[in-house]
């Protein structure tokens, strides 16, 4: 039985505190979302599988008439988390439709290409801004804080790169019109 990386995200989040499936989803959206997303359609079935495998334990903890299941890590779950963390990472995938469009930019009219570059700059500036906001609102310390800092600085760097490139393309287009 091999566990998916998403299963390990759940184990990792339960390592710091007990949570419901709903809270796990919220934590993912606040933190790992930018490099590892997960939906309810994954989280709830995965919690069941992990419970069957003895890695997590759910206990009912209703609020009034509203049923609620809080999950916690078992000793086996903590061991599995440690094992996975020590093992080398495998998955690294990027799917960037913006880069794809830029790649085919030679098929574009110059103004459209400049617009595609501007969209790339904007997109990464926005991600950096959102991450920055999380940091200002008392973001995490330790390794989560380090990864957050990385996300901010990388997106700022990418945004600046395309900003420079956009300037250059704009200048070249202007020179061409002048000639």
Q: Does 39 bind DNA (CB under 7 A)?
A: yes
For a second copy, the closer CB: 62 or 88: 88
Cα–Cα distance measured from residue 150 to residue 153, given in angstroms and rounded to the nearest whole number: 5
For a second copy, the closer CB: 66 or 106: 106
By a kind-dependent CB cut-off of 5 to 8 A, residue 8 interacts, out of DNA, a second copy, none, with a second copy
CA-CA-CA-CA dihedral for 27, 30, 34, 40, to nearest 10: 40
Q: At what angle do helices 40-52 and 5-16 cross, to 10 degrees?
A: 80
For a second copy, the closer CB: 60 or 92: 92
Q: Does 104 bind a second copy (CB under 8 A)?
A: yes
By a kind-dependent CB cut-off of 5 to 8 A, residue 64 interacts, out of a second copy, DNA, none, with DNA
Q: How far is the CB of 32 from DNA (least distance, A)?
A: 11
CA distances from 74 to 46, 56, 79, 81 (A): 15, 5, 9, 11
Q: Which of 29, 37, 157, 164 binds DNA (CB under 7 A)?
A: 37
In 67-77, which positions are buried (b, 16+ CB within 10 angstroms) versus exposed (e)? eeebbebbeeb
Query: 63-82: which residues touch a second copy (CB under 8 A)?
Result: 81-82
Q: Which of 4, 16, 82, 126 binds DNA (CB under 7 A)?
A: 4
SS3 35: coil
121 neighbors 162 (Cβ within 8 angstroms): yes
Stretch that binds a second copy, among 19-27, 41-49, 52-60, 137-145 (CB under 8 A): 137-145
For a second copy, the closer CB: 31 or 47: 31
């Amino acid at each position: 039985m091999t566990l998916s990386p998403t299963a390990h995200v759940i184990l990792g989040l339960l390592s710091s505190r007990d949570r419901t499936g709903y809270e796990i989803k919220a934590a993912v959206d606040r933190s790992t979302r930018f490099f590892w997303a997960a939906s309810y359609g994954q989280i709830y079935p995965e919690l069941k599988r992990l419970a069957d495998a003895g890695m997590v334990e759910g206990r009912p903890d209703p609020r009034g008439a509203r049923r609620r299941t809080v999950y916690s890590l078992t000793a086996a779950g903590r061991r599995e988390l440690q094992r996975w963390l020590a093992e080398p990472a495998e998955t690294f995938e990027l799917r960037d439709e913006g880069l794809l469009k830029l790649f085919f930019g030679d098929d574009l009219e110059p103004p459209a290409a400049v617009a595609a570059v501007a969209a790339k700059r904007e997109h990464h500036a926005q991600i950096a801004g959102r991450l920055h906001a999380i940091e200002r609102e008392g973001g995490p310390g330790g390794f989560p804080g380090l990864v957050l800092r990385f996300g901010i600085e990388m997106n700022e760097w990418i945004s600046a790169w395309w900003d420079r490139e956009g300037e250059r393309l704009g200048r070249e287009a202007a020179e061409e019109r002048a000639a």
